[in-house]
Amino acid sequence: MIEPIFQSRPDLSTVLAFYASRFPQDIVSAGVLHRALLSDPVFDATAGDYVMALDRCACGPTVRRFSRAVSRLIGCSEEKSLLLDVPAKMFLYRRSTKPTAVQSIEDERSPLVASQLISLLGFDQHRSTLTAAELQNVLKNFAVNSSDDDLARYCAYLMISELKIIPATNQQSAALLSSHLGFPATPRASLLVRFFRDLFGVSVNLEWERLMGKLAHSESQRRAMVIRGRWSGNPSLLITVLDSFNDLLLQRFSRGNSLLRAAFRKAARKSKIPDYGNWLRHPKVAGLLPKACPILLDCHNLRLRAEIAHATIKKTGRFTRRVTYREKEIIIKQLRLAYTEWFAEWKKC
C-alpha cells in the first residue's frame, strides 16, 4: 500500500526509511527500498535514508543485486554529499571482506566520512562488523598523522577507551587530549598557531609556551578548542568565551612585558590580577596597544551585554540580550587587526 510513496514523496524519506527498518532481514521491505533506489532519488538525503534502511532489511542471495544499485547511486549523485556518501560506503564495506573494509577506511580522504565510518562499522550497536582491535592500525594512523584535529582527537580517544592503548603521537589535538587525561604527551606545536590563522587570518610564529608559561599555555589551548566548537552555533557563547580567552592572554602578556609588569602588579592591589575592563583602559596598556585596546574593549562590553554573562546590564538595569551574528562578524574582523598589533609587541618580549 505504501510502496508508491517511497518514490513520490522524497520529503518523507526519513519516516519511510524508519518504518522499513522495523523489518530487519525482510526480503519484501528490501525489495521496496531497492525499487525506490532504482528510481534515482533526486536528493542525497532521500537516497541515504533508503540505503540505511536497506542495510537493515537486506538478506539472502539478493544482496549482491542491492550492492550494485547502491554503487551506482554514488556515481549518479549530483550533490556528492555526506548524506549519501557515508550510508553507501557503509553498506558496501559491511558486505566486503574485513581487510578490504579496513583499508578503504584508512584510504578515505574526507575526515568526516572516515570518522563516521569508524563509528558505524566499529562501534555501532546494530551495524558494526569490525572490532576495535581490527581497526587498531586505522585508529593509530589517524591519531598520529591526520591533519584534521577532530578526527585525530576522536581516534586517540577510541584507542584509549576501547583498546587501552595510549597513542604515542605528536599530532597537536590528540597529544593535547592525552596530556589533559594525565598521560605523557606533548603537542609538537602550539594549537594557537592554527587557531589564529584559521579563525582570524593572523599568521604568527610565537613561542607560546615560553611566553605564557606551561600551565597558562595549556589552558589557552583548551579555551581555543572551545571557541572553535562554538564558532558558528551560538554568537553569545562565542563572544563570552572569546572575551575570557583575551583576558587570559592579556594577563600573561602584561606579566611578561617590561613596560607593563610593575603597573600590572600595582593595578591588581590585593588581588593577583586587576579587573580586565579597567586594565584595558589603563594609560600604559592603551599607549602600548592603541589599536588593540578599543577593539578588545568592544568585545568585552559586548560580552557584558550578552544574556549569558548577566541577567541585566549593571549601569542601565536593562535586560541583557543575545549577541547577533552581525555583531559577532564585526568583532571577529576587528580582532584580526587587534591581534596583529598585539602579537607584534609580544614578539619583542
pLDDT of residue 99: 95
Mean pLDDT across 89-94: 94
| Residue 95, pLDDT score | 92
Q: Which residues, including other chains, have CB under 8 Å from residue 110's CB and lie 6 or more apart? A: 82, 85
C-alpha cell at 314: 549593571
Instruction: Indicate whether 305 pLDDT > 90.
Output: no
pLDDT at 312 over 90: no
What's the pLDDT tens digit per position in 205-255?
Answer: 888 888 999 899 988 988 887 787 666 678 888 898 899 999 999 999 999
* Grid cell for residue 236: 553569545
State whether the Cα torsion 120-121-125-131 is positive or negative: negative
User: For 316-344, what is the mean pLDDT?
Assistant: 90
d(CA 204, CA 11) in angstroms, rounded, equals 48
Q: Render the burial of 150-171: b for 16+ CB within 10 Å, e for the rest.
A: ebbbbbbbbbbebbebebebeb
Whether residue 193 has pLDDT greater than 80? yes
State how far the Cα of 55 lies from the Cα of 49, in Å rounded to an integer: 10
Residue 204's pLDDT band (boundaries 50, 70, 90)?
confident
Task: Kindly tell me if the per-residue pLDDT of 342 is higher than 80.
Answer: yes
Q: Do 80 and 41 touch, CB atoms closer than 8 A?
A: no
Q: pLDDT higher for 165 or 62?
A: 165
CA dist 64 → 27, 60, 61, 255, 277 (Å): 13, 9, 7, 68, 67
The CA-based angle 333-308-316, given to 5 degrees, is 90
Residue whose grid cell is 562554538: 230
Percent of the chain with pLDDT over 70: 95
For residue 188, pLDDT beyond 70:
no
Least confident of 33-47, 156-170, 177-191: 177-191
pTM summary value:
0.61
C-alpha span between 100 and 106 (Å, rounded): 10
- Cell numbers describing residue 198: 584559521
pLDDT tens-place string over residues 36-82? 998 888 899 999 999 999 999 988 777 888 988 898 888 888 888 98
* Residue with the three cell numbers 578515505: 108
